A = this chain, B = another copy of it.
Amino acid sequence: MPSVRNARVIFNEIPTDYPLPGKHVVYDTSKTIDLENVPLDGGVLVKILVLSIDPYLRRMMVGRDVQNFSPPFELGQPIVNYGVAVVLRSENPAIRKGDHVVGLEGQFPFQEYAIVHDFSTVRVVENTENIPWSVYVGVLGMPGETAFYGWTEFAKHKKGDVVFVSGAAGPVGATVVQLAKAEGLKVIASAGSDDKVAFVKSIGADVAFNYKTTSTREVLDREGPLNLYWDNVGGETLETAIEFSARHARVIVCGNISAYNTKSPYGVKNLQLLIWREITLHGFLFDSLRPKHAAAFFRTMPGRVASGAVRYKEHVVHGLENAGQAILDVQEGRNFGKSVVVVAE
């Protein structure tokens, strides 16, 4: 069998602000692969079906000198992230041809085909609920796990608590909104367009507003004080949430989209309120909490998603050639719902 195209998306240049397709992130079709004969050396050949586009990818596009949670992307090499793939050939006895595998820790390169050797962070998904594969990088993947683990570990909610969620239309935020509502709490949610606000209301938020047209400060002054703030944004929004926090409030610091694409992030000036209000800020990454909470997540969430008890919104982009634009759109907030690239059906 002749070789076929193995298109890929390369990390080409470190951006100073926003990552531009064609410049910092480049689509490349120069490679081919012989699917029948390429040596696997004990590994597994997969065809990539879905790749995840997440805000944190920007944090991986930094120099090697930046102290990071994991090594940043390598210049000249494909971008890497969570994804779902189908197995074409396997020399690993635990994994069979036709299996669907989900990469957990940025396992899959942005290419059409890949050979995987490290299975410590890849799992085979049976998907008995017949949920679309893209959902396994969304509410049933890293973002859903992030919401579930952070909430389970840090929320410490009590009856009557008021919760504020920023970035509430994204896959993490929307899941948090629904976890909070499932506990009967009052949920205030912000998002960046009227469409997103309508979605956030439809999944249960008691108060939802477009932060671009409505003052966060006025909403929180009226609807607070906050017992819990789930922060996907950082900067001025975090400062305002702290200002309207109640005594003993918890802030779960999950994302900081306001700071990813600038060299001069907003400085938060009211941190002395952490003392007077006895506020705790928890920064976290989902994989640290996975060993503790993964069993509960995988036991309960697929069923909740299948039954519609937990709802989600996807922003689907078709074709690897559009991945660079999808990455930029997420940084600029133009996606509506979890951004996924469908590489192959």
A interface, CB within 8 angstroms of B? 59, 68-69, 234, 238, 247-248, 253-256, 259-260, 264-285, 288
Contact = CB atoms under 8 A, between A and B. Distances in A.
B267 A274 contact: no
Nearest to A287: B278
Given A255-B275, A265-B270, A274-B283, 11 more contacts: A69-B247, A69-B278, A234-B272, A248-B288, A260-B272, A264-B269, A268-B269, A278-B283, A279-B283, A280-B280, A280-B281
13 contacts: A68-B276, A69-B278, A238-B271, A253-B271, A253-B275, A255-B275, A259-B271, A265-B272, A266-B267, A274-B281, A275-B283, A278-B285, A280-B283
Contacts of A288: 248, 278
Given A259-B272, A264-B269, A269-B267, A280 B278 contact: no
Contact of A274 (B253, B276, B277): B253
Nearest to A262: B269
Contact of A271 (B268, B275, B284): B268
Nearest to A265: B269
B277 A69 contact: yes
Nearest to A264: B269
A265 B288 CA distance: 34
A244 to B, nearest CB: 9
Nearest to A257: B272
